[in-house]
Each structure stands twice: as C-alpha cells, then as structure tokens.
Amino acid sequence: MKNLQLLFLSVLITLIGLNGKAQVKITVNSENAEHQISKHIYGHFSEHLGNCIYGGIWVGENSPIPNVNGIRTDVADALIEVGMPSLRWPGGCFADEYHWKDGIGPKSERPPMINTHWGMVSEDNSFGTHEFLELCELLKCEPIFAGNVGSGTVRELSEWVEYVNADIKSPMTLLREKNGHTDPWYVKYWNIGNESWGCGGNMTPEIYFDNMVQYSTFMRNYPNKRLYKMIVGPGGSDLDWTERLLKKAADNGKLGMFNAISMHYYTVPGPSWQQKGSATEFGEKEWIVTIRKALGIEELIEKNIEVFKKYSPRRKIDLAVDEWGCWHTEEPGTKGGFLYQQNTLRDAMVAALSLNIFNNHCEWVKMANIAQTVNVLQALILTKDAEMVKTPTYYVYKMFKVHQDATLLPIEIECPEYEFDGEKVPAINISASENEAGEIHFTLANFDPSQSHKIEIPVNDKLKFSYGEILTSDNLNDFNNFGSAENVTTKEFKEASVKSGNLSFEIPAKSILMIEIK
C-alpha cells in the first residue's frame, strides 16, 4: 500500500450543496484498510435461457457472424474489455435439468433436449462443457459450474468433476482425451445445486442439506485441484432458509463441507412479480422505487452475515451473491420465457450501487454474478443477428473494474435524502479502494435526478487528481439501441483538481462517477 499513509487517518469528505451549506460527511477510515475486494465480485452469469448462449455468446462455427470456433468475436472482445473475472454456467434453473454428458463429443451425435424452464424450446447441446471452457480461456476468466442436484445423480456430478479436473487415467479422463482435450482444465468453483428451495427441487433446507452432504462427499479434490464449493442459500429475504440450513450443518459437524453460501436478490420495480414494470417506460416515481428496492440488498447481506457468525463463529463462511440484478417485464413482441429486456440509466444506477455495496462488504462477499451476461435480464450486452449493443450496465462494469483485487478503504457516510412522492433514499452511494500501484479510486452514484453536489476531499498535497470517468444521460430512461448512436456511455471527467490539500469536483445529477488520485 503506497498511498494510505498519504491520506489522513480519518479523511473527512464534505459534500457541499449548491447553496454552500455542508450536507454530507464521509469518513474514509484508512487505518482499517485490511480487506481485499475480490475480483470475483465483478463476476457474471450465463444461463441457457433465451438468447444468452445461442445467438448471444454462441453462433456456431459455420455462422456468417465473425466467430472463434463458434464463439461470437464481437461479444468476446467486449467482455475482455470489461475485465470479466469469472463466469457462472449453465444455470440457474436450467442447471438442475442439464445432463453434462449430452453436451460433449461430436456435435452431430449430441442428443437435443427441451428447455422446460425457459420457453419450452429445443436445444441441440452444441454448446457444452468444452465450448464453455474454451470461452473462459478466450476471456481469461475463471469458470463456475452449477451442478445438477435437482434431477441429476451423485455419480453424474462426481464424474463431471473428474472429467474436467483429474489427470489420472480413468474412464472419464480417457473420454476427455477422446473428445480432444488431453490435459485437465481445473474448474475450481462449483455450485452444489441452484435454488433448491424452488426450481431446483422444491426442497426444505433439511432435505437439501442431506443431499448436499452426499453430493459434496463425492466431489473429489484431485491433486493440486482443491474445489471451492458453494451451497444453495436464500432467495431474497428468506433468512429462515439460511438459519435452518446452517443450524443443521453446525449440529452435524458439516460446516467444513463447503466454502460459501449463495444468495439471490432481484430488484423488481413493480408492485409484484406479476407486474414487474417496463424496462423503459417509467418516470421518477418508478426511478426512486427501483433505487430503494435495490438498496435493500445491503440489509439482507448484513442479516445473512449475522446468521453465519451465529452458527460458524470459528470458521468463516463466504457469501456469494451469484444471481442479482433488475428484473423487468419482457420487452413487447419478444418470445415469452426468454426474459429479454432493455437496459437504461436506471439499470446502470442499480449496478453501481450494488457493486459499491459488495465492495463495502468484501470481508464476507467474495463473489457476485450479475444476471445475465447477454440478452437476458440486466445484460451487459444485447445482440440482434450480427449487431451488438453495449448497455449502460456494461459501462458501469468497465468503470468499476479498477476495484478488482484492490484494498477496500472503509467509509462512513452521512448524507441527505433524495425524496420524491413519499419515497426516500440516501442521495449518494460510494466505495473506495487502493490498488497495488498506489492508485486510489472513488466510485460514486448520485441518485437525485435534479441536484448536483460539490465535493471536497482533504488529501495530502502529494496526491494529485489523475483521471476521471462519468456516466450519465439527458433522461432517466435513456438506453442504447441497435442502429443508433449510444445515448448512455462513459466520458472522461476532467473537472477535478487538487488545491490547498483538497480534491475538489462536482458530481452532476443522476450520474455515476469514478475518480482516480495517486
């Protein structure tokens, strides 16, 4: 850490409103900077759902769309640019009906299957284990496999681990060699099932626990290939699931059988799952409700952590928020069950505040996977035939990648509330970190659509403003669309300076900002 000593031990950041009156106080407790922001907080999720895989990531080797062995070149290049650290596959609900052996070997011999969860469409299994791992190699990211506990067998999952990780002669390694890959890949990260309380089997926590123990037992650690196992945690606010699952694990002495517990959290702007609300047709009321609901993820993270501490006081359990994001009503005219939605400045705000929250809880949150990578839910990328669009959420990830594997600078914040039509949320959301190069980054979101804020950050005179980026747009519901210039994209932010020991800048209304000092 090169520059922590250059910050005051408690750096007071005062945001000053347009009337000159101090409104917000933020303290950066640099003396407590001890936790690393895992790069896997910036992970992604790709499911066999709609056009995420087929048409989004995978077009096949014979497609006129430029590709590398069937993988879309434009999508791969964009994901490399955003710094994708890890990718979860094949689901989601799909994982618990996916049988991996149907997706290996000559493509002409792979049996088709019905995707019963998403659209009742037939899939030809042309994108399977080898193709996914080639994608991860191309993107230089870590693969995350979600194992089939709902409709699969213990043997099936055990053999999948052996197929991709073992380097000892066996039927599975010989089969892998026959299929063109002599050396093992080593897949470290594994979900033992998905949403077992729902689409993954409608189990109770106790029944899932018994299944998990059996499956986990036969997921072997091959030489120098230790697995990181993630078990099914709660969906949304279901803390009862967490409580009962961990109680049984503690009572039976099985806390050592897994490394992390997952948590799924979706932000639904509308009043119910049946009335989610449009992705693009909304006003300020829907804007602030969405922000308020998205901020709720922080409380659930903290409540789950308290349960972790209660049942595992000596052994730390990690939290993996391996599905999260905005869930809107599907776009009119699109296929039902494909979950295609547009992505506006509002979605970018949800991405920014969520990543800031994950950063600030990085002692416990070690992985997070936005749903989903391409063409589904809060996607980073949209495709239509040969065209591709980078969404506002994509640009948030590109801005925020500066935090990956950096050291968190803990922050305490007091700020005014942004209010509209009876709803209230804190106006400002922020996180900060320092990387090994000694660069300090602040990422801020200003939720207020009409009020900007002047910011002064006391710093040592040796620190200078280096670089800034801003993401905003004219309208709350602006988005990027095919055949048009991008409405919502990042621009360089230059209106910052260090004078008399203060880093000063102004964050405009409805904007997301990254500031670098060094």
Assess contact for 242 and 302: CB atoms under 8 A. no
pLDDT of 499 reads: 84
Instruction: Please give the Cα distance from 308 to 315 (Å, whole number).
Output: 9
| pLDDT in the model for residue 10 | 45
Instruction: Verify that 45 and 120 share a domain, yes or no.
Output: yes
Q: Please, which residues have CB within 8 angstroms of residue 447's CB and are 6 or more apart in sequence?
A: 288, 291, 349, 353, 418, 425, 426, 427, 428, 429, 510
- DSSP states along 258-327: -SEEEEEEEE--SSSSS----SSS--HHHHHHHHHHHHHHHHHHHHHHHHHHHH-SSS--EEEEEEEEE-
Give CA separation, 393 vs 282, 351, 404, 449, in Å.
18, 6, 17, 18
Same domain as 18, residue 167: no
Domain boundary among 405, 437, 460: 405
Q: Which residues pair with residue 387 across a beta bridge?
A: 384
Please confirm, yes or no, whether 302 is among the known catalytic residues.
Answer: no
**Phi and psi at residue 346, to the nearest 5°:** -60, -45
Whether residue 259 sits in one domain with residue 128: yes
224 and 328 co-located in one domain: yes
- The conformational region for residue 292 under phi > 0 = left, psi -120 to 50 = alpha, else beta, is alpha
Set 131, 195, 330, 516: catalytic member: 195
Using CB atoms within 10 Å of the CB of residue 298, give its burial: 0 to 12 exposed, 13 to 18 middle, 19+ buried. middle
Domain tally for the chain? Answer: 2
User: The CATH number of the domain where 467 resides is what?
Assistant: 2.60.40.1180
Indicate whether 368 and 471 sit together in one domain.
no
The 3-state DSSP class for residue 32 equals helix
Both 21 and 44 in a single domain?
A: no
- Residues 304, 351 within the same domain: yes
Distance of CA 122 to the CA centre of its chain: 28
Phi-psi region of 375 (alpha: psi -120 to 50; beta: other; left: phi over 0): left
Q: Which of 97, 323, 330, 434 is catalytic?
A: 323
421 within some domain: no
* Dihedral sign (CA 176, 181, 187, 191): negative
The answer to whether residue 410 sits within a structural domain is no
Q: In this structure, are 14 and 48 located in the same domain?
A: no
Say if 149 falls within a structural domain: yes
| The predicted structure's pLDDT at residue 213 | 98
- pTM recorded for the entire structure: 0.95
Q: If residue 338 lies in a helix (H) or strand (E), which one and from where to where?
A: none
| Domain extent at residue 464 | 4-34+427-517
The answer to whether the CB of 80 falls within 8 A of the CB of 390 is no
226 CB contacts (<8 Å, ≥6 apart)?
188
In a domain, 418, yes or no: no
* SS3 assignment, position 469: strand
Are 24 and 44 found together in one domain? no
- Domain end: 405, 439, 471, which one? 405
Q: What is the DSSP string of 434-468?
A: E-TTS-EEEEEEE--SS--EEEEEE--TT--EEEE
DSSP string, 153-170: -HHHHHHHHHHHH--S-S
Q: Match 């399977």 to its residue by tokens.
A: 128
Helix axes 284-311, 239-251, angle to 10 degrees: 10
Decide if 326 contacts 267 (C-beta within 8 A).
yes
Are the beta carbons of 394 and 486 closer than 8 angstroms? Answer: no
**Residue 222 within a domain:** yes
Query: Is 71 a member of any domain?
Result: yes
H-run or E-run covering 417:
strand 417-420
- Which pLDDT does position 463 carry in this prediction? 86
Rounded CA separation 338/51 (Å): 7
Report the CATH number that the domain containing residue 44 is assigned in CATH.
3.20.20.80
Domain boundary among 405, 439, 460: 405
Rg (C-alpha) for the chain, rounded Å, is 23
How many Cα atoms occupy the beta-carbon half-sphere of 39 within 13 Å?
A: 15
Helix locations, 65-122, DSSP H: 73-82
Q: What is the pLDDT along the chain (518 residues), one digit of tens a residue?
A: 555 544 544 445 555 554 544 466 777 788 888 999 999 999 999 999 999 999 999 999 999 999 999 999 999 999 999 999 999 999 999 999 999 999 999 999 999 999 999 999 999 999 999 999 999 999 999 999 999 999 999 999 999 999 999 999 999 999 999 999 999 999 999 999 999 999 999 999 999 999 999 999 999 999 989 999 999 999 989 999 999 999 999 999 999 999 999 999 999 999 999 999 999 999 999 999 999 999 999 999 999 999 999 999 988 999 999 999 999 999 999 999 999 999 999 999 999 999 999 999 999 999 999 999 999 999 999 999 999 999 999 999 999 999 999 999 998 888 889 999 999 999 999 999 999 999 999 999 999 999 998 887 777 778 889 999 999 999 999 999 999 999 999 999 999 988 887 788 889 999 999 999 99
Assess whether 195 carries a catalytic annotation: yes
User: CA–CA separation, 448 vs 269, rounded Å?
Assistant: 17
The verdict on 238 and 370 lying in the same domain is yes
What is the reported pLDDT for 271? 94
Q: Which amino acid is at 90?
A: P
Q: What angle separates helix 392-400 from helix 345-360, to the nearest 10 degrees?
A: 30
Say if residue 238 is in the same domain as residue 268.
Answer: yes
Same domain? For 326 and 442 the reply is no
- Is the torsion defined by CA of 109, 112, 113, 119 positive or negative? positive
In a domain, 419, yes or no: no
Give the H or E element holding residue 249.
Answer: helix 239-251
Residue 413 lies in a domain: no
pLDDT score for 22: 44
The confidence score (pLDDT) of residue 12 equals 52
Encode 111-148 in three state secondary structure.
CCEEECCCCCEEECCCCCHHHHHHHHHHHCCEEEEEEC
